Amino acid sequence: DQQVKQNSPSLSVQEGRISILNCDYTNSMFDYFLWYKKYPAEGPTFLISISSIKDKNEDGRFTVFLNKSAKHLSLHIVPSQPGDSAVYFCAASITDSWGKLQFGAGTQVVVTP
């Protein structure tokens, strides 16, 4: 049973607008969360992360929000650019688990001109 769920397989957004990607998790032991971005024919690359002691982390155009009570996190991309078109994976980890990650199924983002 998947412990990390991304319920939207795809998202289409206009260039310049905000992209919001959602992720839910079921295991309350998770205390570190990451977002990865994947282009076709390439491996995933790390984008941004957040610890469970925070509720927000920002890095340039990318912001991740964490709502622990709802077991929900989201990634906001503002403004969206054509180069942001990719698959985005949400991942979760437990401290002292050798950095093992549980991944969601991914969300395909398409940014249109």
Partner 1 sequence: DVKVTQSSRYLVKRTGEKVFLECVQDMDHENMFWYRQDPGLGLRLIYFSYDVKMKEKGDIPEGYSVSREKKERFSLILESASTNQTSMYLCASSSPGPIQPQHFGDGTRLSIL
Binding site for partner 1 (CB under 8 A): 2, 4, 6, 9, 31-32, 34, 36, 41-46, 49, 51, 89, 91, 93-106
Q: Measured from the CB of residue 74, what is the shortest distance to partner 1 in angstroms?
A: 17
Give the residue with the Cβ less far from partner 1, 101 or 110.
Answer: 101
10 or 14: CB nearest partner 1: 10
> Nearer Cβ to partner 1, position 2 or 14?
2
Helix and strand counts by DSSP (H, E) for the chain: 0, 11
- 3-state SS assignment for residue 82: helix
Q: Which is nearer to partner 1, 13 or 91 (CB)?
A: 91
Query: How buried is 108 (Cβ within 10 angstroms: 0-12 exposed, 13-18 middle, 19+ buried)?
Result: middle
Angstrom distance (rounded) from CA 74 to CA 66: 7
Return the structure tokens found at 71. 């077991």
Nearest approach, Cβ of residue 12 and partner 1 (Å): 19
Min CB(22)–partner 1 separation in Å: 14
Six-digit token string for 6: 């991304």
Q: Which amino acid is at 56?
A: K
* Least Å from the CB of residue 14 to partner 1: 26
